[in-house]
Amino acid sequence: MPNVVTSRPPAKLNLFLELLGKRDDGFHEIDTIMLPIDWCDEMRLARTEASDISLSIGWLPSLEVVAAELGVDPNSDDGKNLLAIPSDEKNLVVRALRRFRDHFDTPGGFHCDLLKRIPAGAGMGGASSDAAAALRCAAALHGIPLHNPELTVLAAEIGSDVPFFLGIDRHSCQAARAQGRGEKLSQVSLLSQIDMVVVFPSVCLSTARVYSQATIPTEIVPPDAMIAALGRGDLGGIAAGGLNRLQEPAVKIAKQIDEILESMWHIGLIGCQLTGSGSACFGLARNAVDARRGAEQLRSQLLPGSRVASVSSATVPSSVNLVITPNG
């Protein structure tokens, strides 16, 4: 079995998110369509003799470059709020590796090097994706099948978005419908790649706080139109079928979201909306060239104070790659 593996956990966008009701466990019953995108973190996981679990974290291309894009001093309170990622039990990677080790009773521990690109508190699933990748990397290091259903059980215990990043059954997944708390998954097919622009304004939103200020609609919208448009590659239909019931409470907390969305509509993107509980927003472009051009335009208008990227749809789960180390 290998001693070191790597993976590139992707972010996700919620093309559709409806609130169906409040559950007794304090979570919301949701109906959401999630799309993996090629904005990824970088993970390296090694087995260790000692039983403890350690994590080192950095930012790509560097903390200073990311802080400059956001217009913050990395040592200021704002900078720490946006960029100081915990490396202890609060990090979902540490939580995932500890749960894995205890559940499968594997010998020794792990050391994880995590390089972040996915903004935190953005509604892009960064922590959840890292946790899912950590479970798969740990399974590969200990010879446990990557599609072992017990991994999905562990994932659901770690967070509502984590199961999505493990993929569905044994197949790679271009998009998924998530119901329940987010753990009931079904495949959604895409006829063609989707190209978008994503903007992360320099504000970190708490998922719990946005949900707590959301209201359950009297009239529930189903995701059928969105699912049909994705299946026939109809960009106009995807834009028209978009919805995010968490957008209203998120905008009340961070008003700049409205300004960002306005700028995105203004440069000709369509279906512009918040992803997840925010604060990141996305808009659909006709193709990758238009997405790159749109990102350049928004960068010149919005920087510093936002991170802007052109992205394309991707798949989950992220692959796990063996690293052949000199001592085998």
Ligand X SMILES: C[C@](O)(CO)[C@H](O)COP(=O)(O)OP(=O)(O)OC[C@H]1O[C@@H](n2ccc(N)nc2=O)[C@H](O)[C@@H]1O
Question: Could you say whether residue 165 binds ligand X (CB under 6 A)?
Answer: no
| Sign of the torsion formed by the C-alpha atoms of 63, 69, 70 and 73 | positive
DSSP letter at 166 equals G
Site string for ligand X, 198-237 (x = CB under 6 A): ---------xx--x--------------------------
* Cβ proximity to ligand ATP, 184 vs 293, nearer residue: 184
Spatial CA neighbour of 141 closest among 322, 8, 317, 10: 322
Residue 164 DSSP one-character state? G
Residue 204 partner contact from ligand X, ligand ATP, none using kind-dependent CB cut-offs of 5 to 8 Å: ligand ATP
DSSP 8-state secondary structure symbol assigned to residue 119: P
The item of ligand X, ligand ATP, none sharing an interface with residue 160, based on CB under 5 to 8 Å by kind, is ligand X
- Asked if 244 interacts with ligand X (CB under 6 A), we say no
Tokens linked to 16: 């559709």
H helical segments located in the chain: 63-70, 77-83, 92-104, 126-141, 149-158, 207-212, 224-232, 235-240, 247-253, 256-266, 288-302
- Pick what 122 binds: ligand X, ligand ATP, none; C-beta below 5 to 8 Å, kind-dependent: ligand ATP
3-state secondary structure of 78: helix
One of 105, 161, 169, 195 is an active-site residue; which one? 161
Is 311 a binding residue for ligand X by CB under 6 A? The answer is no
Stretch 33-92 residues interacting with ligand X (CB under 6 A): 34
Active-site residue flag, 234:
no
Q: Is 175 annotated as a binding residue?
A: no
121 labelled binding-site residue: yes
Query: What's the Rg (C-alpha) of the chain?
Result: 19
Q: Which is nearer to ligand ATP, 59 or 310 (CB)?
A: 59
Residue 48 or 206: the one with the smaller Cβ distance to ligand X is 206
CA gap 205, 6 in Å, rounded = 29
Instruction: Answer yes or no: 31 catalytic.
Output: no
Residue 26 known to bind ligand: no
Q: How far apart are the first and last CA of the chain?
A: 10
Pull the structure tokens for residue 106: 């594997």
Cross-strand bridge partners of residue 17: 32, 244
Strands across the sheet with 42-48, in order? Answer: 53-59, 109-116, 42-48, 4-7, 320-323
Residues 136 and 288 sit within 8 Å (Cβ to Cβ): no
Site string (259-288) toward ligand X, x via CB under 6 A: -----------------xx-----------
Q: Provide, rounded to whole angstroms, the least separation between the CB of residue 296 and ligand ATP.
A: 26
Which residue's Cβ lies closest to ligand ATP?
126
What's the min distance (Å) between Cβ of 123 and ligand X?
A: 6
Closest to ligand X by CB, 74 vs 126, is: 126
Give the interface with ligand ATP as residue ranges (CB under 6 A). Answer: 85-86, 90-93, 120-128, 130, 161, 204, 207, 276-277
What are the residue numbers of the active site?
12, 161
Residues marked as binding for ATP? 119-129
The residues of the shown chain that bind ligand X, judged by CB under 6 A, are 14, 17, 27-28, 30, 32, 34, 123, 125, 128, 159-161, 181-182, 207-208, 211, 276-277
